[in-house]
């Protein structure tokens, strides 16, 4: 893969990340649905499609965008970096590098995310488990459904500009 191909691939993923951010916060944020977690879905999608280093870098960029958008604390930066890296390792050695692998990794990430979000509020005593599940369930489902088009956007970038398994 030439230097030009690497730059084009990085630019394609950068444009995809910007579009996903705009759709997540400025289009879906206006609808009366729970705000989906599309930036973590993007980190997982790139992890399922690319090598470890690129997936970790993309997860870092997605985490920075998510933290600056105000959707999460700065802790999301290392979380999404690790999510991209671990997804790449899982899909390279355990799962398949396709939509099924992406959905399984996304489900694991979403369950951990919702467990941390609801668990901290439950332990703090700010809400009961029933109220927390009424919020977490629809958010998890909406995020899982919205991760499908995010995967296909990543797949277009991956197929159009090549993939590097061994970076």
Average pLDDT, the chain: 90
pTM of the model: 0.89
Give the tens place of pLDDT for each residue, 87-102: 999 999 998 888 999 9
Buried b (16+ CB within 10 A) or exposed e, 20-48: bbebbbeebeeeeebebbbbbbbbbbbbb
Domain 3-161, second-level architecture: Orthogonal Bundle (1.10)
């Amino acid at each position: 893969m030439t230097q030009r191909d690497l730059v084009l691939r990085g630019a394609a993923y950068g444009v995809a990340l910007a579009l996903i951010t705009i759709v997540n916060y400025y289009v879906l944020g206006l609808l009366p649905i729970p705000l989906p977690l599309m930036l973590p879905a993007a980190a997982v999608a790139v992890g399922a499609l690319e090598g470890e280093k690129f997936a970790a870098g993309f997860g870092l960029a997605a985490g920075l965008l998510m933290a600056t958008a105000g959707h999460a604390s700065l802790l999301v930066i290392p979380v999404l970096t690790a999510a991209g890296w671990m997804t790449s390792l899982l899909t390279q050695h355990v799962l398949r590098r396709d939509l099924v692998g992406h959905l399984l990794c996304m489900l694991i990430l979403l369950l951990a995310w919702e467990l941390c979000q609801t668990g901290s509020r439950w332990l703090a005593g700010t809400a009961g488990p029933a109220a927390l599940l009424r919020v977490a369930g629809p958010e998890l489902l909406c995020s899982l459904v919205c991760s499908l088009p995010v995967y296909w956007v990543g797949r277009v970038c991956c197929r159009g500009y090549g993939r590097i398994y061994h970076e």
